[in-house]
Chains A and B, each alone.
Chain A
Amino acid sequence: MVLETKELLLNMGPQHPSTHGVLRLLLYLEGETIVNSDPIIGYLHRGIEKLAEAKTYTQFIPITDRLDYIAAFPNNLAYVQTVEKLMSLEVPLRAQYIRVILTELNRIASHLVWLGTHAMDIGAITVFLYCFREREIILDLFEMVSGARMTVNFFRFGGVAADLPAEFYPKVKEFLDTFPAKIADYEALLTQNRIWLARTKNVAVISAEDGINWGLSGPNLRGSGIKWDIRKANPYAVYNKLDFEIPTGQMGDVYDRYMVRMEEMRQSTRIVHQALAQMPDGEIKGKVPKIIKPPAGEAYSCIESPKGELGFYIVSDGSEKPYRVKIRAPSFVNLEALPLMLKGGLIADVIAAIGSIDIVLGEVDR
């Protein structure tokens, strides 16, 4: 007798321990094998792009904090940079360095949240707490600088809101000196661990061609072997004065994406070190008109956020409010390729895959 098998539809989320927020996945299963999947998003849609049209340019800065809420500085930077491009504003060198330092620290913080949750999804709960221990130090630094731990609202058109406080420097030095040893700790728990390897190698593979075709960016695309980092390819701020490597993988599996992000944390540490050493004295804000009214026109500008290419497309009609703001959110595009990665895998691989593409729903849904 041949047993008849029936496709099982499993609704994963929006409330589920490892969908990283309010992602909902429809999984079509045969046993535990995934035949097809369909991500349903929008549960965190707040209409930020519509909101932008009702706010002045300056009023919109704090709202960008709420996009990728675990990496607020990069959001600020991408937005501020686009408006500066529209208005042809000059940003003093010291402000540029402050921006780079904070953005790179935020990249580390974001990667720490990714690593912690990703490892916890695969069952290694201890890594999660180790990561959050270090992230706490970074958040304290952010609080020192901006007064807020996550929603920092710190960059301004033409510069930054305030100079770095004096007590920031010893603290950040201390962090940078101890952090590489901490990365070694995480790696000791995971990188060579047989179970970790079994769970991540050859899982959720995406080839370089597919990755480009589906618009992947950031560590996800670099994991597939494409050496493309906007910080190097189209340098912004002062990245062309800093020396750092772009790690890449080969296979495009969960493990490669993991290795890329681990190395990126080390590289970010290097960048902050250099930036602190090179940072000149001087102004922290350039000449900016009292009322921000960019001339009619449009501009697109993007940065390498911790998740990938974060771009803002702003259309101005010459008034004090943007006519249209479109946010090119890396998580949104990265999530789109998830069904491709999942096909043929098991339920357990779904968890590994979601963790490895590092999405933040605040940015996906906007």
Chain B
Amino acid sequence: MVLVKIIIILGVILLVVAYLTYLERKVIAHLQVRIGPMRVGWHGLLQPIADGLKLLVKEDIIPEKADKWVFILSPIICLVPAFVVYAVIPFSQHFYLANINIGILYIISISALGVYGIVLAGWSSNSKYALLGGFRSAAQMISYEIFLGFSIIGPLMLAGSLNTLKIVEAQSGVWFIIYQPLAFALYLIAGIAETNRIPFDLPEAETELVAGFHTEYSGMKFAFFFLAEYANMMVVSSMAVILFLGGWKGPFLPGIVWFAIKVGAFLFLFIWLRGTLPRYRYDQLMRIGWKIMFPLCLLNIALTGIIYYLFL
């Protein structure tokens, strides 16, 4: 039974991730007065599948001077954690894989592993652009991992649990976004940075570092990084929904539909930002993180604690 669930979830996630790339291309296209992919299938609906096939049969180049085994391993290190975390995400009240007491902690710690993949990819490519991209992402992701962790302490205090199901149940009356607007904003910024999206897409800033850490990758290995990035976007969105927007809760429609709608809204936001904003510079990104976000995170925790102690 569990195995069936795993296959269903993995299959659906893979499909959704693939179609997320399609969605991104279409939405960005319409933001930019273009029409996007139209050729493959009706309105280009089969485009992700064509892309996937193309990447699958493409020549897979390993640079001569690369560290071969690390070079091969790093996309896998990047991809696996991005999918493993779905184990504890409750898509609805009854549809989830594992119900463990440290759900949120599990997500954060597993997804933190993904950064190893990026750093190792940058290092093993033996290319200067990739190396700089790897350095950048190491600094960026480790820093923003911290803010991500700190920003969700507020809602966790309110819920009194790390269990994802219990956190959602705790929002039966009022969503935590009402109590924790600051934490929500901080989480969102950290989440965008964590997934290397514009305006924080420095590790792969294509106009500066060509393609950053995955400059030397091609074929399926490149696709792995690509999938990992989009899977991470979904994880960050799902976590936001669980922590701040009441998970699957909502009137009339079944839980899983509500969950999908909320996650979809976040994904749209990610894409919308990409269509609108320029990119920060590396030093500015670090400054924002440590000088603005970090104190605000601490402030939010302290405030939540005091109010919780005094009034609840």
Contacts and interface: CB of A to CB of B under 8 A. Distances in A.
Interface of A: 8, 10-11, 16-18, 32, 119-126, 128-130, 133, 189-190, 193, 195-196, 198-199, 346-351
Interface residues of B, number: 29
B283 A129 contact: no
Contacts of A126: 28, 31-32, 275-276
B153 interface: no
Nearest to B32: A129
A189 B128 CA distance: 33
Contacts of A18: 207-208
A123 B279 contact: yes
Contact of A347 (B31, B33, B132, B277): B132
Contact of A348 (B28, B206, B281): B281
A190 B276 CA distance: 9
A18 B129 CA distance: 14
B63 interface: no
B282 A346 contact: yes
B240 interface: no
B210 A195 contact: no
Interface stretch (B87-95, B141-149, B197-205): B197-205
A217 to B, nearest CB: 26
11 contacts: A8-B128, A18-B207, A32-B282, A123-B279, A125-B32, A129-B34, A195-B277, A195-B278, A199-B278, A347-B132, A347-B209
Contacts of A346: 281-283
Nearest to A19: B207
B284 A198 contact: yes
B179 interface: no
Contacts of A16: 210
B91 to A, nearest CB: 33
Contacts of B308: none
Interface string B1-34: 0000000000000000000000000001001111
Nearest to B29: A129
Given A10-B128, A16-B210, A125 B275 contact: yes
B280 interface: yes
B199 A195 contact: yes
Contacts of B198: 123
Contacts of B278: 119, 122-124, 190, 193, 195-196, 199
Given A17-B210, A125-B274, A199-B284, 18 more contacts: A17-B206, A18-B207, A123-B198, A123-B277, A123-B279, A124-B279, A125-B275, A126-B32, A128-B32, A129-B33, A129-B34, A195-B199, A195-B277, A195-B278, A195-B279, A196-B278, A198-B280, A199-B278
A199 B280 CA distance: 7
A122 B206 contact: no
Contacts of A129: 32-34
Contacts of B282: 32, 346-348
Contacts of B33: 129-130, 133
B171 to A, nearest CB: 32
